[in-house]
A and B are shown apart, each in its own frame.
Chain A
C-alpha cells in the first residue's frame, strides 16, 4: 500500500520534471513556474495553518519579505543578472523567517477568528510600509537585474528552482506530519488547552510552525521577484495571494499532504490560463468563487478527503456485497 503511494509520488515528480523539456512554449512553462511557486507556498502554508487550525490570512507578509529581500540584496550586493541570483532565494526564505518571529509573537497570542483578523491587519501594515518607505521604492517598486537569457530557455532554471522548492516543501510537510512536533500541532488544532495540560509547550510549538512555514513562502516570493524582474508592493504584498493560498489548501483538503499540492496546481494553472485566454485579469475570481461554493457545499473537507472517503465507502460496500453473495451461497 505504502509502496503504491510512493510510486504515484515518483510518477508525479517525473511528469513535473519532464514537462519543460517536452513543452517548450514559454506561455505554458510560465504557467508551470507560477503553478509550482503556488504549490510550494500552499504546501508550506498548510504545514502550519492546516495542521494547527490557525488560519493565517497574512502569508503574503512572508512572500513579500522574501521578494523584497531578493530585490534589495541583489541591488546592494551588485549581483549580476545571471544564475547567481538564485543563490539569494534561501536568503529570502531566512529573512521571511526572521520577520515571522515578531509577527508570530503578536498574532499567536490570540486564537481562531481573532487570529485571522490580526494576521490580515499585520499584512496591511506590511503592504502600507512597502508603499510608503523610500528604501522599498514606494509604489514604483524595485527593479531586479535583467537576466539576458534566450526566451526559449529562459523559464527552465526558474521552473526547476520552483520544482526544487516544491519538493522541499512537500518533504518538510511530510516529515512534520510524522514527527512528534506535527502531532503536537494537530493536538493544538483539536484542543489547545488540553494539549497544554498534557505537557505540550503550545506557544513554542505554534511559533516554530509559523516560522518554518514562512521560510518556504519567503523562498517562493524571492523566486517570484527574480522571475518577474520587477516588483511592486501590490504584487508581492497581495491580499489575493493570502486568500488564494488558503483557498487552494481548503479546496484540496486542509491538513492533508496532497490537497494543497493539487489545489494549487489546478487553481493557479487555471487562473493563469484564463487570464491569458480571455485577457481578463479578474475572470478567474468569478470562477474561483463559484468553485469554492460548490466545494464548501458538497465536500467541506476538501477534494482529497472527499475522494478517499468515497473510495473507502466503495471498498466497504464491496466487502458488504461479497458477504451477501456468500450468505446466499451457504
Chain B
C-alpha cells in the first residue's frame, strides 16, 4: 500500500492554545482511516490544516507525494482532497441540484466559468447519479435550505463525491443522525471504498469507527497518541487513559 495523504509533525497554535502539537498522520491508498480523540484534541483543526483552511505553524502536509502545506482550500480540493464539515455547510438559497453543480468541475480555471453555462449534460447526469446514490435524488429541484439535517449531511457527501476526489475527509458523518441513516452512511462509505476511494473519518461513534475503519489514529491534546488496527486501539491502555482519565472502572464499560 502506498501513502496517499501524509501529515508530518504539524503544529498550530491559536494564541496561547496549542491546538496541534507535532501531529503526524497518514492515509493509505484505498483505506478507511479513522481519527478519534476527546473533544478539543485537535481533530477538526487537523482537517482544516490538511484542506488549506488553516496554515500550520510548522510541519508539512503532502498528497500523492506533492507538498500541499501552503495551498488554499480551492487548490487542495482541485488536487483531489474533498471534505465535509462537522456542522454541515451547504448553499441554502440554491437548489439541491445547483449545490451539486458548484462542485462538478473541481479544477476548472476561473475564466472558464464566464464563458460556459451552469452545467453540461454530462455534469447534470453525474450530479443526478450521485444524488440518487445518497438517496435524495427526488429532492433535486428543492431549495437546499428546506432539507432536513440528515438530508443536508447526505447532500454535502454527494457534492463532495461529484467532483471525484481521491480522498474524502468526513468530519463526524454520523453525528446527530438517526441509527438507520448511520447504517446507510456506513454502507455508502464501504461501497465507495470498494470502488477505490480513500477516507479519513473523524467520528465519536465508536461502533461506527471500529466497524468501518482499517486503521485508527487516536489524537490527544493536539498530537497523535497511537495508530493501529481497531482491535489494537480498543485494547491500548494509552487510549483508555486519554478517553477515560485512567479510571479502571470505566475500562470495562469501554470494552463492552
Contact = CB atoms under 8 A, between A and B. Distances in A.
A147 B244 CA distance: 86
A187 B97 CA distance: 12
B118 A183 contact: yes
Contact of A179 (B83, B85, B89, B116): B116
A181 B113 contact: yes
A69 interface: no
A201 B110 contact: yes
B93 interface: yes
Interface string A195-206: 111111110110
Contacts of A208: 110, 114
Nearest to A209: B114
Nearest to B116: A180
A205 B110 contact: yes
A197 B92 contact: no
Interface of B: 51, 53, 72-74, 77-78, 83, 85, 89-94, 98, 101-103, 105-110, 112-119, 159-160, 163
B87 to A, nearest CB: 11
A23 B93 CA distance: 43
Given A178-B118, A180-B117, A189-B93, A199 B163 contact: yes
B163 A179 contact: no
Given A190-B93, A194-B89, A198-B159, A179 B118 contact: yes
A168 to B, nearest CB: 16
A182 interface: yes
A196 to B, nearest CB: 4
Contact of B117 (A178, A193, A198): A178
B41 to A, nearest CB: 22
A189 B98 CA distance: 14
A191 interface: yes
A246 interface: no
A191 B118 contact: no
Contacts of A193: 53, 73, 89
Contact of B102 (A187, A201, A204): A187
Nearest to A205: B110
B68 to A, nearest CB: 14
20 contacts: A178-B117, A178-B118, A179-B115, A179-B116, A179-B118, A180-B114, A186-B93, A186-B94, A187-B94, A189-B93, A190-B93, A190-B94, A193-B89, A194-B90, A196-B72, A197-B53, A197-B74, A198-B103, A198-B160, A201-B110
A199 B73 CA distance: 7
A258 B82 CA distance: 37
A52 interface: no
A44 to B, nearest CB: 16
A179 B74 contact: no
A305 to B, nearest CB: 11
Nearest to B51: A197
Contacts of B72: 196
Contacts of A184: 102, 110, 113
A28 to B, nearest CB: 39
A196 B74 CA distance: 5
Nearest to A181: B113
B103 A179 contact: no
Given A180-B118, A183-B98, A187-B102, A201 B74 contact: yes
Contacts of A186: 91, 93-94, 98
Contacts of A181: 110, 113-114
Nearest to B123: A180
A197 B98 CA distance: 16
